[in-house]
Structure formats: structure tokens, C-alpha cells
Amino acid sequence: MPHTLEWKVRLHLFEDDDGTTKARLVLDTGSTELTAHGAAHCHPADSNIPEIGDELAAGRALNDLARQLLRVAERDIEGMDTPRPSARQNAAWSL
């Protein structure tokens, strides 16, 4: 039976008073909500191009979200009541 879901992601980008671009990313799976963060600060010697700060902060927030999702999946796998495969077997949910 096919499995289809839609997860909603909201990404908020803003710059604070010291010039740091911050990203707040919220993933809503319908049953769980995860919040991730990222930040970027322009080096004084670099040209201030806001789009680059946005990209860096958003990318870092996405990396934070990816790490959180992997940790959640690892905990879920560990909580399953199935025996772990031996070293010679392939795990269906390998991480």
C-alpha cells in the first residue's frame, strides 16, 4: 500500500541589531514539530550581500533539522521490538 504524507516547513529569516542573519525553521509533520536554527554574520572585510547571509543561515538551519531528524529516526529504530540484524545482514533502516 502506498504511503504519502505532506510535511510543512516554515523558514523565517531575519537580521538582528548586530547584523547577524538568523534563520528559524519549523517542520510540522502533523504529529511532531521540530524547530531548527541557523545563523550567519558578514565578516567586516567582505561585501555585505544579504542574499548570501540568507543562504548561509537557511542552509545551517536545514543542517540542524537534518541532524534532529536523524536522531529521532535512530531513537525510533532503537525502540522497535525487532532484533537487530547481524553484521552480515543488511538493515532495512540503516543510518
pLDDT for res 38: 98
Give me the sheet containing 33-41, strands edge to edge: 8-15, 20-28, 33-41
Measure CA 42 to chain center: 22
pLDDT for res 95: 60
Summarised one tens digit per residue, pLDDT across range 63-74 is 999 999 999 999
Q: Which residue has the higher pLDDT, 78 or 24?
A: 24
pTM of the model: 0.80
What φ, ψ does residue 16 adopt, rounded to 5°? Answer: -90, -175
Summarised one tens digit per residue, pLDDT across range 14-62 is 999 888 999 999 999 999 999 999 999 988 898 889 999 999 999 999 9
Q: Which domains are delineated in the chain?
A: 8-76 (3.30.160.240)
